[in-house]
Amino acid sequence: MKQRNETAVENVFSVESIVSVFHNAPVIVKKESARRDHSVMYDFWQLFYVEKGVYKVQMEDCPMHSMEQGQLLLCEPGKLRTSHIGSDARVGIINVRCNSPKMRRLRNRVITLTEQEKAEMLSLLQEGVGMFRNLPESAPYTGQHVVDGTTKYQLQVFKNRIEILLVGFYVRRVKEEEVSPSIQNQLNYYEQKFRMIEEYMKEHLGETLTIEDVCEYTGFSVNTVKRIFRQQADCGAIHYFLKLKIKEAKRLLGETDLTVTQISDRLGFSGVHYFSKTFKRFVGVSPREYAYSLTGV
């Protein structure tokens, strides 16, 4: 008798736990202020959905995202996020732990939901706030707990529905990136040259490079350099060079005893004020605030 063939099914997106669910009421802001700014960092993924209004979000090392109604952002763990909340904003957030490697393909990306996905997200938020409640102040832990009467079957269905949403986002992302072989060859070429320029920039973090310096090093025209960085980094060459400087500044703040002024000098900034301003533009907080968030002192 022949042995029966069976197909193993990989659990591509596996949500290990539900951290919390929030479905906000409209944000109330004083008339003299059109927005409220808030910087936070978490060690779990956030499915951040804008149900109404405008919500501007800047993830650490990423450009500002201006999110509108019907859009969702998958916020990566361990990244500082600064939110600029519009006066009429209404948002929903589902926080989960998910260690699936393919989540990296979706990190910090704004996704415009289909009508079906909007309905599913709204349904998840409405059900989620009925299943989870904030722990009381007297509790030994912080966060949320499951409401009495919620069954393990309800929790599994809730988790599975989140995973199905993630699979849909991922499949769409893959389709968007599908290209012909000729275009792929060009992209591979751009990636090679991008890595070469990146190494050159890392070797000159203490200097003030211009795009002309990059062109002289590579032998490329300005337009070619711009095209490479637009395709590979979604930003300009000098903007990317500043990102590398700020990344190094973050390392120095966390791993050395150098002062903000000393780091500014080491990285070739014209002054500590310009360094602090640039750091805050990329990270969302000042160098001193960032250092404090790491040490608490």
Q: Round to whole Å and give the CA distance between 193 and 172.
A: 28
The pLDDT tens digits for 28-41 are 443 334 444 556 77
pLDDT at 26 over 70: no
Position 31 scores a pLDDT of 37
Question: Tokens in use for 237?
Answer: 């060459």
Q: What SS3 state is found at 200?
A: helix
More confident: 216 or 187: 216
Domain ranges of the chain: 15-177, 181-295
Pick the CATH number of 15-177 from 3.30.497.10, 3.30.70.120, 2.60.120.280, 1.10.645.10: 2.60.120.280
Handedness of CA 281, 282, 285, 287 (dihedral sign): negative
Q: Mean pLDDT across the stretch 236-257? A: 92
Contact (CB, 8 A) for 51 and 92: yes
251 to each of 103, 254, 290, how far by Cα in Å?
A: 25, 5, 11
- Whether residue 202 is predicted with pLDDT greater than 50 in this model: the reply is yes
pLDDT 10s digits, 56-110: 887 776 667 788 899 999 988 887 777 776 767 888 999 999 988 889 888 888 8
Lowest average pLDDT, out of 143-152, 166-175, 185-194, goes to 185-194
Q: Name the CATH architecture for the domain at 181-295.
A: Orthogonal Bundle (1.10)
Residue 87 in 3-state DSSP? coil
